[in-house]
Protein backbone atom coordinates (compact mmCIF):
# COMPACT_ATOMS: atom_id res chain seq x y z
CA UNK A 1 0.00 0.00 0.00
CA UNK A 2 2.89 2.39 0.53
CA UNK A 3 3.29 2.57 -3.26
CA UNK A 4 -0.09 4.31 -3.36
CA UNK A 5 0.81 6.77 -0.59
CA UNK A 6 1.79 10.39 -1.03
CA UNK A 7 3.64 12.62 1.43
CA UNK A 8 2.38 16.21 1.47
CA UNK A 9 3.73 19.31 3.17
CA UNK A 10 3.54 23.06 2.68
CA UNK A 11 6.01 25.92 2.87
CA UNK A 12 7.06 29.40 1.94
CA UNK A 13 10.62 30.68 1.59
CA UNK A 14 10.82 31.53 5.30
CA UNK A 15 10.18 27.91 6.25
CA UNK A 16 12.26 26.46 3.43
CA UNK A 17 15.39 25.70 5.55
CA UNK A 18 13.17 23.56 7.78
CA UNK A 19 11.46 21.95 4.80
CA UNK A 20 14.86 20.90 3.45
CA UNK A 21 15.46 18.89 6.62
CA UNK A 22 12.13 17.12 6.21
CA UNK A 23 12.86 16.28 2.55
CA UNK A 24 16.38 15.03 3.27
CA UNK A 25 15.20 12.89 6.18
CA UNK A 26 12.74 11.18 3.82
CA UNK A 27 14.96 10.88 0.78
CA UNK A 28 17.79 9.38 2.87
CA UNK A 29 15.49 6.71 4.31
CA UNK A 30 15.18 3.21 2.84
CA UNK A 31 11.63 1.98 2.35
CA UNK A 32 9.97 5.39 1.96
CA UNK A 33 12.73 7.21 0.07
CA UNK A 34 10.94 6.98 -3.27
CA UNK A 35 7.44 7.88 -2.12
CA UNK A 36 5.85 10.70 -4.13
CA UNK A 37 6.15 13.98 -2.27
CA UNK A 38 4.46 17.26 -3.02
CA UNK A 39 4.81 20.66 -1.33
CA UNK A 40 2.00 23.20 -1.27
CA UNK A 41 3.71 26.42 -2.36
CA UNK A 42 2.70 29.60 -0.53
CA UNK A 43 5.79 31.66 -1.34
CA UNK A 44 8.74 29.55 -2.44
CA UNK A 45 11.43 31.16 -4.60
CA UNK A 46 12.60 29.78 -7.93
CA UNK A 47 15.80 28.63 -6.21
CA UNK A 48 13.75 26.76 -3.61
CA UNK A 49 11.78 25.03 -6.36
CA UNK A 50 14.96 24.05 -8.21
CA UNK A 51 16.30 22.39 -5.05
CA UNK A 52 13.03 20.54 -4.51
CA UNK A 53 12.94 19.34 -8.10
CA UNK A 54 16.49 18.01 -7.72
CA UNK A 55 15.23 15.96 -4.77
CA UNK A 56 12.24 14.63 -6.69
CA UNK A 57 9.70 16.79 -4.86
CA UNK A 58 6.86 18.37 -6.81
CA UNK A 59 5.32 21.73 -5.91
CA UNK A 60 1.91 23.24 -6.54
CA UNK A 61 1.09 26.90 -6.06
CA UNK A 62 -2.16 27.03 -4.12
CA UNK A 63 -4.96 29.49 -3.47
CA UNK A 64 -7.83 29.43 -0.99
CA UNK A 65 -10.03 26.37 -1.25
CA UNK A 66 -13.00 28.34 0.04
CA UNK A 67 -13.58 31.97 0.88
CA UNK A 68 -14.55 33.36 4.26
CA UNK A 69 -15.02 36.73 5.95
CA UNK A 70 -11.85 38.71 6.58
CA UNK A 71 -9.93 36.85 3.89
CA UNK A 72 -8.08 39.94 2.64
CA UNK A 73 -6.00 40.29 5.81
CA UNK A 74 -5.09 36.63 6.29
CA UNK A 75 -1.42 35.60 5.82
CA UNK A 76 -0.52 33.51 2.77
CA UNK A 77 0.55 30.49 4.83
CA UNK A 78 -3.02 30.11 6.12
CA UNK A 79 -3.77 28.67 2.67
CA UNK A 80 -1.88 25.52 3.66
CA UNK A 81 -4.16 24.95 6.64
CA UNK A 82 -7.17 25.86 4.51
CA UNK A 83 -6.23 23.08 2.06
CA UNK A 84 -5.48 20.20 4.42
CA UNK A 85 -9.03 18.80 4.69
CA UNK A 86 -9.30 18.93 0.87
CA UNK A 87 -6.17 17.05 -0.22
CA UNK A 88 -8.02 14.29 -2.17
CA UNK A 89 -9.94 16.97 -4.09
CA UNK A 90 -6.80 18.75 -5.29
CA UNK A 91 -4.30 15.86 -5.33
CA UNK A 92 -6.31 12.84 -6.48
CA UNK A 93 -3.42 10.58 -7.49
CA UNK A 94 -2.99 8.74 -4.19
CA UNK A 95 -4.87 6.28 -2.01
CA UNK A 96 -3.22 7.35 1.27
CA UNK A 97 -2.17 10.88 2.20
CA UNK A 98 0.53 11.44 4.81
CA UNK A 99 0.70 15.05 5.97
CA UNK A 100 3.93 16.30 7.58
CA UNK A 101 4.48 19.90 8.70
CA UNK A 102 7.56 21.59 7.25
CA UNK A 103 8.99 22.07 10.76
CA UNK A 104 9.20 18.32 11.33
CA UNK A 105 11.58 15.59 10.20
CA UNK A 106 11.78 11.85 10.58
CA UNK A 107 14.41 10.13 12.68
CA UNK A 108 12.90 6.70 11.98
CA UNK A 109 10.92 5.91 8.83
CA UNK A 110 8.77 3.48 10.83
CA UNK A 111 6.60 6.47 11.73
CA UNK A 112 5.51 6.89 8.11
CA UNK A 113 5.13 3.16 7.50
CA UNK A 114 3.02 2.78 10.65
CA UNK A 115 0.77 5.73 9.75
CA UNK A 116 0.24 4.36 6.23
CA UNK A 117 -0.54 0.90 7.58
CA UNK A 118 -3.09 2.27 10.07
CA UNK A 119 -4.81 4.43 7.47
CA UNK A 120 -4.89 1.72 4.81
CA UNK A 121 -6.03 -1.21 6.92
CA UNK A 122 -8.54 0.51 9.19
CA UNK A 123 -9.72 3.43 7.09
CA UNK A 124 -9.30 5.55 10.20
CA UNK A 125 -7.24 8.71 10.55
CA UNK A 126 -3.82 8.12 12.09
CA UNK A 127 -3.23 10.99 14.54
CA UNK A 128 -1.02 11.82 17.51
CA UNK A 129 -2.55 13.49 20.61
CA UNK A 130 -0.27 15.87 22.48
CA UNK A 131 -0.11 13.69 25.57
CA UNK A 132 2.88 12.07 27.27
CA UNK A 133 3.99 11.59 30.92
CA UNK A 134 6.92 13.96 30.33
CA UNK A 135 4.98 16.74 28.62
CA UNK A 136 4.67 19.77 30.89
CA UNK A 137 1.05 20.16 29.76
CA UNK A 138 0.16 17.05 31.75
CA UNK A 139 0.68 18.86 35.03
CA UNK A 140 -0.59 22.37 34.32
CA UNK A 141 -4.10 23.74 33.99
CA UNK A 142 -5.33 23.26 30.42
CA UNK A 143 -7.23 26.53 30.68
CA UNK A 144 -3.94 28.36 31.25
CA UNK A 145 -1.63 26.77 28.69
CA UNK A 146 -4.33 26.43 26.04
CA UNK A 147 -6.02 29.80 26.34
CA UNK A 148 -5.98 30.36 22.57
CA UNK A 149 -7.81 27.10 21.85
CA UNK A 150 -10.28 27.83 24.64
CA UNK A 151 -11.15 31.23 23.16
CA UNK A 152 -11.70 29.68 19.72
CA UNK A 153 -13.93 26.93 21.09
CA UNK A 154 -15.94 29.52 23.03
CA UNK A 155 -16.42 31.79 20.04
CA UNK A 156 -17.58 28.91 17.86
CA UNK A 157 -19.58 26.74 20.24
CA UNK A 158 -20.19 28.54 23.53
CA UNK A 159 -18.92 28.00 27.06
CA UNK A 160 -20.28 24.52 27.74
CA UNK A 161 -18.72 22.80 24.73
CA UNK A 162 -15.54 24.88 25.07
CA UNK A 163 -15.07 23.83 28.69
CA UNK A 164 -15.60 20.20 27.67
CA UNK A 165 -13.17 20.29 24.72
CA UNK A 166 -10.39 22.05 26.63
CA UNK A 167 -10.13 19.15 29.10
CA UNK A 168 -9.31 16.67 26.32
CA UNK A 169 -5.83 16.14 24.85
CA UNK A 170 -5.24 18.40 21.89
CA UNK A 171 -4.75 16.37 18.72
CA UNK A 172 -1.89 17.76 16.66
CA UNK A 173 -2.71 18.41 12.99
CA UNK A 174 0.95 18.53 11.92
CA UNK A 175 1.21 14.82 11.17
CA UNK A 176 -1.55 12.51 10.05
CA UNK A 177 -2.41 9.81 7.52
CA UNK A 178 -5.80 9.22 5.96
CA UNK A 179 -7.16 7.22 3.04
CA UNK A 180 -8.74 9.05 0.11
CA UNK A 181 -11.97 7.09 0.41
CA UNK A 182 -12.49 8.00 4.09
CA UNK A 183 -15.58 9.98 5.10
CA UNK A 184 -13.40 11.80 7.64
CA UNK A 185 -12.35 14.30 4.96
CA UNK A 186 -15.87 15.64 4.50
CA UNK A 187 -16.47 15.76 8.27
CA UNK A 188 -13.34 17.83 8.77
CA UNK A 189 -14.01 20.09 5.77
CA UNK A 190 -17.53 20.93 6.96
CA UNK A 191 -16.42 21.82 10.48
CA UNK A 192 -13.49 23.90 9.25
CA UNK A 193 -15.71 25.92 6.91
CA UNK A 194 -18.11 26.69 9.74
CA UNK A 195 -15.38 27.66 12.19
CA UNK A 196 -13.49 29.90 9.74
CA UNK A 197 -16.64 31.95 9.31
CA UNK A 198 -16.51 32.67 13.05
CA UNK A 199 -12.83 32.75 14.04
CA UNK A 200 -9.83 33.26 11.75
CA UNK A 201 -6.76 32.27 13.73
CA UNK A 202 -3.61 30.18 13.30
CA UNK A 203 -5.11 27.58 15.66
CA UNK A 204 -8.59 27.40 14.09
CA UNK A 205 -7.78 24.54 11.72
CA UNK A 206 -6.24 22.35 14.41
CA UNK A 207 -9.16 23.16 16.71
CA UNK A 208 -11.54 22.09 13.96
CA UNK A 209 -9.83 18.68 13.79
CA UNK A 210 -10.31 18.30 17.54
CA UNK A 211 -13.97 19.23 17.31
CA UNK A 212 -14.35 16.53 14.64
CA UNK A 213 -12.63 13.92 16.79
CA UNK A 214 -14.46 14.65 20.04
CA UNK A 215 -17.88 15.88 18.89
CA UNK A 216 -18.47 14.81 15.27
CA UNK A 217 -17.53 11.12 15.28
CA UNK A 218 -14.36 11.46 13.22
CA UNK A 219 -12.80 8.00 13.50
CA UNK A 220 -9.10 7.95 14.37
CA UNK A 221 -6.26 5.86 15.71
CA UNK A 222 -4.17 7.56 18.40
CA UNK A 223 -0.47 6.93 17.86
CA UNK A 224 2.09 7.41 20.68
CA UNK A 225 3.83 10.71 21.28
CA UNK A 226 7.15 9.58 19.81
CA UNK A 227 5.35 9.47 16.44
CA UNK A 228 5.03 13.27 16.56
CA UNK A 229 7.14 14.62 19.40
CA UNK A 230 6.07 18.23 20.03
CA UNK A 231 9.28 19.80 21.29
CA UNK A 232 7.65 22.84 22.89
CA UNK A 233 5.92 20.54 25.39
CA UNK A 234 9.26 19.05 26.44
CA UNK A 235 12.67 19.04 24.81
CA UNK A 236 13.91 15.57 23.89
CA UNK A 237 16.97 13.97 25.45
CA UNK A 238 20.00 12.84 23.47
CA UNK A 239 21.65 9.43 23.31
CA UNK A 240 25.29 10.26 22.58
CA UNK A 241 26.32 6.68 21.85
CA UNK A 242 23.75 6.29 19.10
CA UNK A 243 23.47 9.98 18.17
CA UNK A 244 19.69 9.85 18.52
CA UNK A 245 17.05 12.12 19.98
CA UNK A 246 15.04 10.13 22.53
CA UNK A 247 12.25 10.64 25.03
CA UNK A 248 13.46 12.62 28.07
CA UNK A 249 12.90 9.81 30.57
CA UNK A 250 13.28 6.03 30.87
CA UNK A 251 13.11 3.89 28.83
CA UNK A 252 14.26 6.67 26.45
CA UNK A 253 12.33 5.42 23.44
CA UNK A 254 13.64 6.80 20.15
CA UNK A 255 11.68 9.74 18.83
CA UNK A 256 10.48 8.74 15.38
CA UNK A 257 9.30 12.18 14.24
CA UNK A 258 10.78 15.40 15.61
CA UNK A 259 8.29 18.28 15.45
CA UNK A 260 9.93 21.63 16.20
CA UNK A 261 6.79 23.32 17.43
CA UNK A 262 6.75 26.80 18.92
CA UNK A 263 10.09 28.43 19.63
CA UNK A 264 12.10 25.22 19.24
CA UNK A 265 12.62 25.85 15.51
CA UNK A 266 15.38 28.39 16.08
CA UNK A 267 18.82 28.31 17.65
CA UNK A 268 20.27 25.66 19.91
CA UNK A 269 18.87 24.19 23.08
CA UNK A 270 20.24 22.61 26.23
CA UNK A 271 19.40 18.91 26.12
CA UNK A 272 19.93 16.29 28.80
CA UNK A 273 21.72 13.16 27.69
CA UNK A 274 20.90 9.60 28.69
CA UNK A 275 24.03 9.68 30.88
CA UNK A 276 22.94 12.77 32.85
CA UNK A 277 25.15 15.25 31.01
CA UNK A 278 24.09 18.44 29.22
CA UNK A 279 24.73 19.32 25.59
CA UNK A 280 23.86 22.36 23.53
CA UNK A 281 22.55 21.67 20.03
CA UNK A 282 19.93 22.48 17.43
CA UNK A 283 16.85 20.32 16.98
CA UNK A 284 16.98 20.64 13.20
CA UNK A 285 17.77 17.74 10.90
CA UNK A 286 21.54 17.15 11.05
CA UNK A 287 22.52 17.70 7.42
pLDDT of residue 41: 98
Residues 278, 184 share a domain? no
pLDDT of residue 30: 96
pLDDT of residue 189: 95
Residues 179, 65 share a domain? yes
Residues 243, 128 share a domain? no
Residues 256, 185 share a domain? no
Residues 245, 127 share a domain? no
Q: How many domains in the chain? A: 2
User: Does residue 54 lie within any of the structural domains?
Assistant: yes
pLDDT of residue 137: 82
pLDDT of residue 230: 97
User: Does residue 145 lie within any of the structural domains?
Assistant: no
Residues 246, 121 share a domain? no
Enclosing domain of residue 209 = 2-132+166-226
pLDDT of residue 145: 66
Residues 234, 213 share a domain? no
Residues 124, 237 share a domain? no
DSSP the chain: -GGGEEEEEEE-TTTHHHHHHHHHHHHTSSSSTTS-EEEEESS--HHHHHHHHHTT-EEEE---SS--TTGGGS-TTHHHHHHGGGHHHH--S-SEEEEE-TTEEES-THHHHHHHHHHHHH-SEEEEES--TT-GGGGS-HHHHTHHHHHHHHHHH-HHHHHHHTTSPPEEEEEEEEETT-THHHHHHHHHHHHHTT---TTHHHHHHHHHHHHS---EEE--GGGSEETTTS--EEETTTTEEE-SSTT-PBPSEEE--GGGGSSEEEEEBTTS-EEEEE-S---
Residues 106, 16 share a domain? yes
pLDDT of residue 69: 57
Residues 234, 127 share a domain? no
pLDDT of residue 265: 96
pLDDT of residue 225: 98
User: Does residue 158 lie within any of the structural domains?
Assistant: no
Residues 234, 217 share a domain? no
pLDDT in tens, the chain (287 residues): 465 999 999 999 999 999 999 999 999 999 999 999 999 999 999 999 999 999 999 999 998 887 765 667 788 898 999 999 999 999 999 999 999 999 999 999 999 999 999 999 888 999 999 999 999 888 777 666 688 999 999 999 999 999 999 999 999 999 999 999 999 999 999 999 999 989 988 899 999 999 999 999 999 999 999 999 999 999 999 999 999 999 999 999 999 999 999 999 999 999 999 999 999 999 999 97
pLDDT of residue 66: 75
We report the CATH number of the domain holding residue 11 as: 3.90.550.10
User: Does residue 113 lie within any of the structural domains?
Assistant: yes
Residues 115, 190 share a domain? yes
Amino acid sequence: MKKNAMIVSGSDHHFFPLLKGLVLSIRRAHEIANLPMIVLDVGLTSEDQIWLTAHNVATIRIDWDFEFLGLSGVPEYFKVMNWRPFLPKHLPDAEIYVWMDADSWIQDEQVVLLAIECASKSGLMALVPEIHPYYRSMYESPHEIRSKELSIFRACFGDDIANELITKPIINAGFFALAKKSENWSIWATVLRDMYHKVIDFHTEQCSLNVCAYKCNLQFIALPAYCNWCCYHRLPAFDEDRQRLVEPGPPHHDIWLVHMTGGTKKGSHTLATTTDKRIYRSLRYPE
